[in-house]
Amino acid sequence: KEKWTLPTDDFMTFLFGTVPIECGNIDFTDVLFEKSIKEKSDDEANATSQSLEKQVTAVEGNNPGDDLFITVRLNDKGKRFQSFRAIIPATLPARSDSEKKAGIQFFPQVNTSSTAYIKSSPEEDPVQDFYGNDMLETNIPVQIYDFTSQQQAIVPGGPSFAVMGFDISTNRPEDSLYQGTNGVGSEKAFTVSGVTFEPNSLIGDFLIDSAFESYEIVGNTTNQVYLLSGTPRNGSWRIERNPSFLEEVTLEFYDEGTNANFNPLNDLLPLHIDPQISGVALYRDNDADPRNRNGMFDADIDIPISLDAAPYYIGQTGEATQVKFVFSSPGTDNVPIPREQQARNRQWVPTSFGTNNKDPFYGPDFFVVLRASDKMKTGVNFRIGMVNWGPNTPTEPDPDTWARLSGEQRNDFRKFREFPWGIRGLGFITYFKEPPVRYYMDGKKAGMKADNSGVNWIRSHCTKKRRTGVINSIKKVVAPSSLVIDSTSISELPIQTLEGQEVTLVIYGRNFGNNPVVRLSGYQVRVIQATDTAITIAISTMPGVVPIEPVVLLVRNTATGDEASRTDLFTLTSKPIGRIPVINSINPNKGTSKEFPVTIQGANFSTIENIQVYFANTLMPVQSVSADGTSIQVTFPLGGIPTVGLLDVTVKNIDQKTEKTLVGGFEYINDAQKPKKRFYMFGCGERQDIQQSNFMAYAFDISLVIAVLLFLLSAKKKRTI
């Protein structure tokens, strides 16, 4: 026990002296308001001449406001929404006589009013709080991890990496009713084996499939559940009661150092609805994949979290830069479409933290991933942060209502929060099959009642905060094994493609591997063919997504994990797409110059004056193009083909501004060497092979050699004499 000296005053002095107030052209400095201020104590009258230090000292001496606080700090074992009461008892009757006395004790001893122990809230009457002020409820337990090191580096245009992780649990394993491994999904149904359900006992519960997508159950038989919407994946499954879901995340960015040179709009790839190409993205640990590493980010294994809309910047001037992610669909309402037609993006929260690294729920469940732009300069320093602060608004509208809006309307979600200054860094929604019970105090009497609001869900957040270490951008070091994107076969992309229409192009570089991942912002990508130095892809615009510049191209080698991106290779055009050439076959597809002319079979070829054919970088002479545009004949160029081996064959429709490339379409073999030519000795003439030689030529050579030897021998004898 420690004694604490009671304050002698409990008021705040007025800190300001003369306060002239001007409204338009009217000066109120002479009105009674100012005089009433001047009539206060001498200290207040001379406040303008007092130093701020003296004023603050005076305020501290008067002890305004509350003086002592009781705080509660929980570990991570508490259950979600577990209720408890914090009280200061007057006595502790169960203890020994010397320890029965409790409450607030004074020295010297004085009596304490009995009403001092009755808890009150100014908002309880006539409008009560959402929660009675007497009972305290725990948040959803959360652990935030910093994945950065003391010298964390980020490479412009380099690979993605995780900077932060969230480990979340409701700590309610009793809510996991059933689970298995061999479920079979179908439209609005899921069939299991080895488990027998009581018919219709699971209405209002949720099915979680192998990719952690959730499906609301609307009925069931002994071995099959019926769903509100969707087709679950085959494989592992679980059925959860009263589940909690993560539905929104807000991150903060902090510039570091004195140069203030971090700009997320320039230094990170653009924010995109596709997490696999966005500058900032969220991933979920794929616990259902046997290759998964618990609590570690695996780029090709972990699950990109699908969003209701692209991430967007929020906040006010002067605040830290904030990025908001929303994935609350299907939400609680039928806006903008009926719930059964909405996507199922919200993320189920596990019921346990896991006990060891073999437990699928051990370690972080969600990751924050960054991708640096190729425009980022070296020496840029910044941090990532997560802040949760302020009370909940339990009946807040669905976050996706605002995420789909544009401009400043996206920030209107604050108008519907009970405490708009709060920050919902990690936003959750919890569903209840039965109305939860609320506890309250009616004066000195405790009571309880079931929630009769008719709302079977509640929104909440936690109170955790964390920021990462400093992230430094460094110059990219290109090694012989580094993945490099050099160029592409075309530089203009259509802003819109028709249904079923695709545009093909080739990406050139090195160290792509044989099974690369290719992403192009705003487009669906289909890899047609891939080698270590060239990738042929077919692209089409994504439904409901309009591509915008800069267009981001990202390639990842799935074998090495290396990744690179470019933002300067494409521009967008609204011009209609012309006829795109189609290459079906090349005949012959290998040979020397003697095999020419070569025929290219396909479709959509332009006329001979509007077409070009390239073998690698060599422009080929076009001999003819069929009238129906299905065949091209090319001859061997006069200057030859400088490269041997497999060559990419490209057909360009000049008038349509379209092209098609077949990677490795023709293998060029160098012409066989001509019969070797020998020359007459001393450069006297050309000498044929022995079988084709002229006997007189050889005789001349031999006689010439003998003559030279005799001349040298005679010269030597003369010198000797």
| Count of domains forming the chain | 5
pLDDT score at 136: 81
pLDDT in tens, 672-690: 644 444 444 444 444 444 3
Same domain, 460 and 509: no
Q: Tell whether 394 is covered by a domain.
A: yes
Same domain, 209 and 273: no
Q: In angstroms, rounded to a whole number, what is the distance separating the alpha carbons of residues 462 and 653? A: 59
pLDDT in tens, 452-499: 888 999 999 998 999 999 999 999 888 999 999 999 988 889 999 888
Q: Tell whether 495 is covered by a domain.
A: yes
Same domain, 236 and 251: no
Q: Tell whether 221 is covered by a domain.
A: yes
* Pairing mode, strands 366-370 and 280-284: antiparallel
pLDDT score at 27: 45
pLDDT score at 115: 64
* Pairing mode, strands 678-679 and 686-687: antiparallel
Q: In angstroms, rounded to a whole number, what is the distance separating the alpha carbons of residues 478 and 279? A: 22
Decide if 422 contacts 496 (C-beta within 8 A).
no
Structural domain ending residue among the three candidates 530, 555, 573? 573
Same domain, 308 and 452: yes
Q: In angstroms, rounded to a whole number, what is the distance separating the alpha carbons of residues 700 and 695? A: 9
Same domain, 251 and 352: yes
Residues 6+ apart with CB under 8 A from 708: none
Instruction: Provide DSSP, 423-485.
Output: B-SEEEEEE-SSPPEEEEEETTEEEEEE--SS--EEEEE---EEE---EEE-PPP--TTS-EE
Span 304-318, average pLDDT: 91
Decide if 221 contacts 197 (C-beta within 8 A).
yes
Q: Tell whether 306 is covered by a domain.
A: yes
Beta strands in 593-706 (DSSP E): 598-603, 611-615, 618-620, 622-625, 631-634, 645-653, 658-668, 678-679, 686-687
Q: Could you write out the three-class secondary structure of 572-597?
A: EECCCCCCCCEEEEEECCEECHHHCC
Q: In this model, does residue 284 exceed pLDDT 80?
A: yes
Q: What is the CATH number of the domain that holds 636?
A: 2.60.40.10
Structural domain ending residue among the three candidates 185, 217, 240? 240
Write down the pTM of the prediction.
Answer: 0.77
Same domain, 490 and 563: yes
Same domain, 252 and 321: yes
Structural domain ending residue among the three candidates 408, 437, 467? 467
pLDDT in tens, 161-216: 999 999 999 999 999 999 999 999 999 999 999 999 999 999 999 999 999 999 99
Q: Tell whether 674 is covered by a domain.
A: no
pLDDT in tens, 15-69: 545 444 444 444 444 444 343 444 444 454 454 444 545 544 544 556 777 777 7
Same domain, 524 and 660: no
Q: Is 125 left (phi over 0), alpha (psi -120 to 50) or beta?
A: beta
Q: In this model, does residue 103 exceed pLDDT 50?
A: yes
The whole domain housing 533 covers 484-573
Same domain, 348 and 441: yes
Lowest mean pLDDT among 436-450, 653-667, 707-721: 707-721
pLDDT score at 130: 42
